[in-house]
Structure 1
Amino acid sequence: MHQPAPDPGPRVLHVAQPADGGVARVVLDLVRAQLAAGLHVTAACPGGELADGLRQLGADVRTWRASRSPGPGLPGEVRALARLIGEVRPELVHAHSAKAGLAARLAVRGRVPTVFQPHAWSFEAVGGLTATLALRWERWGARWAHRVVCVSEAERRTGLRAAIHAPYAVIPNGIDTHRFSPRPAPAEAAPLVVCVGRLCRQKGQDVLLRAWDDVLATAPRARLVLVGDGPDRAALHQRAHPSVRFTGAVTDPLPWYRAADLVVLPSRWEGMALAPLEALGCGRPVVVTDVDGARESLPPALLHDCLVPPEDPAALAGAVTRLLSDRARCAALGAQGRRHVLAAHDVRHTAARIAAVYRELLGTRPPVPSERREPIHS
């Protein structure tokens, strides 16, 4: 007897720009889970490490040529994305970060269920007129997002304070807790501090370098490694002490987490940074700045030792030197951080909650059969 073919999973299109760093890791983890669950997943991005990783997973990858920031090429980028959406005919679009969120919402305009995930708000990254325009756009564009997914309650509150009225869901970032797991650090006498992140104003490595002289006054043998690359690399090189090493871009930060005595991320703004979660997953203590998502990413026991005000080199240096001088305390905080990540930030929980959002949106607006669906044009 002929058995009918099982119904295919819904067609989901992820749109991402930037295509590296934390955004890329979030998209890769989501797509991996969605492919395993039977969804038909396509991703549109400019290329880079995200496209390579998605192809290795077996996802359908479409090249969408788009700059990292809005500019005069935006209308053409929106038209190209609209054509791509017309070809893929997704039943749901999930746009990641400000640029992709801008282009995707302009291309779709609410005609397909749309999830927008800011990964930190665009108006926090800029100043002056640019910030005003970004805020106005986020308020206007909210009408074309069926759900705005914030990675922390603090990020959602920032949106509400900015009068961005949208249907929100708060789904904390998660990590692969099997991969980011503890291993004994190499036995070295010199303390090693590691900062993982794009070398840019957001991540605050300039603040860390200003604090580093004070750290060396107490721990003269300490070493600092900045893992990553970005537009501020040359300027940071110029002010760095000889004890500071720059790795450039790396394919995998895991060995650096495991080598560290302490991981530091002195960000100026975030939604919820991945690097502290990855470090805690490896059983390493962290020092982070009190920006959106930081308090929610730490267990209560770490808040006193590991949280400092943003753009405060003296407070940052004090926290780093206190922890470097007490390795037993570092080990205890790292173990508590590992337990917290296992309970609250496993990527499988994150993927399940995203899947629940998808089901809700697709359930309230059933997919149109492909033969009746009209392509979207801008």
Structure 2
Amino acid sequence: MPKHPSPAGSPAARSITVLHLVQPVEGGVARVVTDLAAAQRAAGLRVVVACPDGGVLAGAARAAGAEVLTWRAGRSPGPGLPAEVLGAARLIRRVGPDLLHAHSAKAGLAGRMAVRGSLPTVFQPHAWSFDAVGGTTAALALRWERAGARWAHRVLCVSEAERRAGESEGIHARWAVVRNGVDLAHFRPAHPDPDRDRAEARTALRLPAALAGAGPLAVCVGRLCPQKGQDVLLRTWPEVSATVPGARLALVGDGPDAERLRRTAPPGVHFAGAAADIRPWLRAADLVVLPSRWEGMALAPLEAMACGRPVLVSDVSGARESLPSGHGRLCLVPPEDPTALAKALGRLLAEPRLLTELGEQAQQHARTEFDVRRTTDAVTGLYHELLGRPSPLNQERISR
């Protein structure tokens, strides 16, 4: 499995091979892995990404310089699990990595069962599996996470809240916390004046008739699925429209709930579908809203804030840590609470000057706290720590 140590000072001693085992292959997980792959390749690591076909990850990881291998695995546990574990074990033997980094519940399950601690292993939940299900399934998921923690040299959480949630459920792990970050050169306003920035983005998007008009525009970016809570948002919209006449809502994304949500959507809601580049939608928004049921630390609010837009989010793991100081009173609502969400939306959308002020504060906060380079440096530093090798970043500081 792991490679034999090379003599000190040899090129092999300085290089690290990391295998990222990943499922799912879209959304925030795919973006996190792609950012890690690009940074780690730039740092001189050999990066291999093993993931199922489909989704955006394989192509994005190749473009970032990673080697990409196919790992056949479904999104949820099922009768195919033994074959998925064997497939992961074969890939690990083929690659011979120094370290395994397993992303999300399925890869964390299969990867840890494949190596059982024989290889330095980082497991990154990207939100806990037992939050995503209920009843017996949730109990089984929690039982596994408690048992599987012994086969992870680090359980890497993207927020302190995610770590605390695991700890409170009896998961005894060797924890690390590295908050998510975004590419601040990519996610930024296109123009320094917020009004002009919004106007130009809306012109470029050629907004459909459903979004025409002078009223405020709320945008929700995310996979159309139970986790992201778009159904809760749609239940609020008639009340929001009554409170703020002319208010409009755009849902950007696709997913398993798309058809059901379209059938139940009230007037004033536009389904934009998946977008290869979400920046125009973020910039076009007066407010970005994400009413998630669970998260680790969602990327969409960070990306919105980096683009200078205020956010309204449900109070799940990572949300409070995402927001600027003082924004919690206005910009946090309890999850699965349509009444509270409607009141918060109505209050914010009715106050354009407040939204502008919150957006400016959000942008400064994102640029100060959520630079993806800090995130990727910390993860790569964790690899060096686990492998007992000096971090290149530490060496660079010493040389100064």
TM class, shorter-chain normalised?
over 0.9
Q: Is this contact kept in 2: 1:277–1:345, CA < 8 A?
A: yes
Match of 2:19 among 10, 13, 19: 13
> RCO greater where, 1 or 2, for CA within 8 Å and sep 6 or more?
1
Match of 1:57 among 51, 64, 67: 64
User: After the TM superposition, which segments of 4 or more aligned residues of structure 1 sit over 4 Å from their partners?
Assistant: 3-8
Matched to 2:221, the amino acid is V
Q: Is this contact kept in 1: 2:88–2:111, CA < 8 A?
A: yes
Residue 123 to residue 5, structure 1, CA distance change in 2 (3 Å) = closer
Matched to 2:217, the amino acid is L
Tell me what 1:186 maps to.
199
Helix, strand or coil for the counterpart of 2:73? Answer: coil
Question: How many Å apart are 1:5 and its aligned residue?
Answer: 5.6
Matched to 1:273, the amino acid is A
Tell me what 2:256 maps to.
231
Q: How does 1:170-181 map to 2 (within 5 A)?
A: 170-181=177-188
Write the distance in 1 (CA, Å) between the matches of 2:355 and 2:311.
9
Matched to 2:125, the amino acid is P
Question: How many Å apart are 1:325 and its aligned residue?
Answer: 1.2
Matched to 1:24, the amino acid is A
Question: How many Å apart are 1:8 and its aligned residue?
Answer: 5.0
Match of 1:73 among 55, 67, 80: 80
Question: How many Å apart are 1:251 and its aligned residue?
Answer: 1.5
Tell me what 2:161 maps to.
154
Question: How many Å apart are 1:242 and its aligned residue?
Answer: 2.6
Q: How does 1:39-58 map to 2 (within 5 A)?
A: 39-47=45-53, 48-58=55-65
Identity fraction in percent: 63
Q: Is this contact kept in 2: 1:138–1:164, CA < 8 A?
A: yes
Q: Is this contact kept in 2: 1:8–1:40, CA < 8 A?
A: no
Residue 57 to residue 180, structure 1, CA distance change in 2 (3 Å) = same
Tell me what 2:394 maps to.
none
Write the distance in 1 (CA, Å) between the matches of 2:120 and 2:345.
45
Write the distance in 2 (CA, Å) between the matches of 1:131 and 1:152.
21
Tell me what 2:90 maps to.
83
Write the distance in 2 (CA, Å) between the matches of 1:195 and 1:285.
12
Q: Is this contact kept in 2: 1:18–1:24, CA < 8 A?
A: yes
Write the distance in 2 (CA, Å) between the matches of 1:28 and 1:275.
16
Matched to 2:27, the amino acid is G
Match of 2:304 among 279, 291, 297: 279
Q: How does 1:120-159 map to 2 (within 5 A)?
A: 120-159=127-166
Alignment pair present for 1:288 and 2:294: no
Write the distance in 1 (CA, Å) between the matches of 2:308 and 2:267.
28
Q: For residues 134-164 of structure 1, what are the alpha-carbon distances to aligned partners after superposition, in whole Å with 9 as ceiling and x for unaligned? A: 0010001001000001111110011011100
TM-score of the superposition, structure 2-length normalised? 0.88
Tell me what 1:338 maps to.
363
Match of 1:351 among 376, 390, 396: 376
Q: Is this contact kept in 2: 1:13–1:41, CA < 8 A?
A: yes
Question: How many Å apart are 1:364 and its aligned residue?
Answer: 7.5
Tell me what 1:370 maps to.
none
RMSD: 1.5
Write the distance in 1 (CA, Å) between the matches of 2:363 and 2:248.
24
Q: Is this contact kept in 1: 2:17–2:98, CA < 8 A?
A: yes
Write the distance in 2 (CA, Å) between the matches of 1:332 and 1:219.
19
Match of 2:29 among 23, 30, 38: 23
Write the distance in 2 (CA, Å) between the matches of 1:109 and 1:351.
26
Aligned residues: 363
Alignment pair present for 1:251 and 2:257: no
Tell me what 2:207 maps to.
none
Alignment pair present for 1:298 and 2:304: no
Question: How many Å apart are 1:318 and its aligned residue?
Answer: 1.2
Helix, strand or coil for the counterpart of 1:179? Answer: coil
Helix, strand or coil for the counterpart of 1:185? Answer: helix
Write the distance in 1 (CA, Å) between the matches of 2:335 and 2:198.
29
Alignment pair present for 1:113 and 2:120: yes
Helix, strand or coil for the counterpart of 1:195? Answer: strand
Question: How many Å apart are 1:223 and its aligned residue?
Answer: 1.2
Q: Is this contact kept in 1: 2:158–2:177, CA < 8 A?
A: yes
Extract unaligned runs of 5+ from structure 1. Answer: 366-378
